[in-house]
Amino acid sequence: MASNAYIIANKRAVSSHPHPHRQPHLPLLLLLFSLLFIGKFDLVSALNYTKYTRKVSNLRLQRIQKHLEKINKPAVITIESPDGDIIDCVHKRKQPALDHPLLKKHKIQRVAPEMPKVKTLKRDEGSGDSKRKEGEDLIWQMWHRNGTRCPKGTVPIRRSTTRDVLRAKSLFHFGKKQSTTINPTRRADAPDVVSSNGHEHAIAYTGTSQEVYGAKATINVWDPSIQEVNEFSLSQIWILSGSFDGSDLNSIEAGWQVSPELYGDSRPRLFTYWTSDSYQATGCYNLLCAGFVQTNSRIAIGAAISPVSQYDANQYDITILIWKDPKLGNWWMGFGDNNLVGYWPAELFTHLADHATMVEWGGEVVNSRANGKHTSTEMGSGHFAEDGFGKSSYFRNLELVDADNSLSSVHDISTLAENTNCYNIKNSYNNEWGTYFYYGGPGNNPQCP
């Protein structure tokens, strides 16, 4: 049976792409020599949003290289993606996760976790046009297009480069989210979102009084425009526990994001994130630090998703499930139709070692207020929620996992958007999409100066 990881929301076929021409690698020493010789390094995003000119010292390059040697593990084979990514197929026991101090004695979970049971029968998720025909083999990650796959026993890891690190604020900040500053006026039952540091949201969320053991949703994929290279736009699920106004918040996150700073382009990419201390020192995106244990040889975290939705045309979405293995306690990630990507070991967490207390679904952007105005970085499709299907981005079939490892549709959710003139959200329910919502917006506009 073909993997059902990628959903197409109408029946038009997806065209195949020719094999890319393979290019020789630029030797590392030549790259370092050229950077040192030039004495400065020009960083330009794929859309030329912002140009940085930085002087790069020999000492800094040495530190970056040492870090890259730590996270770029030796490859069994290497695959060149049409979008410029290098995918290293790394033996699963050599992956970065096992470098974590808390995982020195960790044995990779070999027995598949028990999948959550569907508590209540419901009609087919989505309309007849939104379910992919069985047997279709859609190309849903760019690196798949040349037909090469990682061999059994290995995991695909997107290789990090010197340029990737130099786009970050510092080596310490590479692959990390900025720590948040909690708004003192936040309601006690509100989720962990603030706009004071430029982060803006349009999300749905559960209450904080229940025990939650996982969540699921199907997420519409777009390629929103990003104005500044240090901004991003993402759509994700948050699994949360701990105090929102302290330093012990635990969070597990997964979805798609566009981040020129992190990836050097404006393509939507599958991503994961985790933290056990409110984004201060622990955790990172994808596999850019030790922690997340990957088990799947076909899905590359951080790789570009293709194809993507088009305005008033084809709509594409991905399904993500995050849940706690009832036997071993690890938090697993599923992608599409029961494809296990990997897991966050229970040892990484404090509060989430037991259960979650809140789930959030929705979009987030960074607004840097370049030139003193709200930037035009888009959320979702870049259109407001009221524009509806084919124009606005959506989350559908929102579900929660309970203590019995059962999935059920979410009925009691709240919504939040800090500035509805820039980005908004509207939720609803029907028998096909269960609980769902449209969300997003264009950012800067006459009502959002």
224-236 tens-digit pLDDT: 999 999 999 999 9
Q: Is 44 exposed, middle or buried, given 0-12, 13-18 or 19+ CB atoms closer than 10 A?
A: middle
In angstroms, the CA 228 to CA 260 distance is 8
Would you list the domain boundaries of the chain?
63-115+139-179+191-441
Instruction: Dump pLDDT digits (tens) for 246-275.
Output: 899 999 999 999 999 999 999 999 999 999
DSSP string, 280-339: SSS--BTTSSS--EE--SS--TTPBP-S---TTS--EEEEEEEEE-TTT--EEEEETTTE
On the question of pLDDT at 62 being above 70, the answer is yes
Contact 336, 6 (CB under 8 A): yes
Query: Length of the chain in residues, anyone?
Result: 449
Report the C-alpha gap between 284 and 282 in whole angstroms. 7
Position 36 pLDDT exceeds 80:
no
DSSP states along 97-166: GGGSGGGTT-----SPPPPPEE-S--PPSS-GGGSPPTT-----SGGGGG---PPTTEEEEEPP-HHHHH
Question: 43 or 416: whose pLDDT is higher?
Answer: 416
* pLDDT score recorded for residue 369: 95
Q: What are the residues whose beta carbons fall under 8 Å from the beta carbon of 235, sequence distance 6 or more?
A: 219, 220, 221, 255, 256, 257, 362, 363, 364, 379, 380, 393, 395
| Tens digit of each residue's pLDDT (9 = 90 or more) over 283-325 | 999 999 999 999 999 999 999 999 999 999 999 999 999 999 9
Could you tell me the pLDDT band of residue 54, with boundaries at 50, 70 and 90?
A: low
Given this model, what pLDDT does residue 435 score?
Answer: 98
The pLDDT score that the predictor gives to residue 276 is: 97
Q: What angle do CA 348, 284, 173 make, to 5 degrees?
A: 130
User: In which residue are the tokens 């959506």 written?
Assistant: 394
Q: Is the pLDDT of residue 40 over 80?
A: no
DSSP 232-254: -EEEEEEEEES-TTSS--EEEEE
Measure the CA–CA gap between 5 and 314, rounded to whole angstroms.
Answer: 17
Complete edge-to-edge strand list for the sheet that includes strand 358-366: 269-275, 250-258, 233-241, 358-366, 199-205, 414-417
Partners of residue 396 on adjacent β-strands? 218
pLDDT tens profile 160-214 = 999 999 999 999 999 998 765 434 334 445 555 444 579 999 999 998 778 999 9
Q: Read off the pLDDT of residues 403-419 as tens digits, 9 standing for 90 and up.
A: 999 999 998 899 999 99
Catalytic positions: 253, 364
DSSP 448: B
User: What pLDDT, on a 0 to 100 scale, did the predictor assign at position 147?
Assistant: 86
H or E element, residue 71: helix 58-71
Reply yes or no on whether the pLDDT at 53 is more than 50: no
What local confidence, expressed as pLDDT, does residue 179 receive?
Answer: 61
pLDDT at 270: 98
- Three-state DSSP state, 262: helix
Nearest Cα to Cα of residue 444 among 394, 391, 388, 371? 371
β-bridge mates for residue 339, sequence order? 335
29 versus 438: the higher-pLDDT residue is 438
The confidence score (pLDDT) of residue 429 equals 97
Per-residue pLDDT at 128: 33
pLDDT band at 135 (very low <50, low <70, confident <90, very high): very low
For residues 50 and 390, which has the higher predicted lDDT (pLDDT)? 390
Residue 14 — very low, low, confident or very high, per pLDDT cuts 50/70/90? very low
What would the mean pLDDT of 381-396 be, rounded to a whole number? 98
> Considering the chain, what is the average pLDDT of its residues?
84
pLDDT higher than 60, residue 340: yes
pLDDT at 335 exceeding the cut of 60: yes
Give the tens place of pLDDT for each residue, 93-131.
999 999 999 999 999 999 999 999 987 544 443 433 343
* 3-state class (DSSP) for residue 45: coil
- Return the pLDDT at 5: 42
Asked if 172 and 284 count as a contact pair (C-beta separation under 8 A), the reply is no
Residue whose entry in the numeric block shows the structure tokens 């021409």: 21
**132 pLDDT more than 60:** no
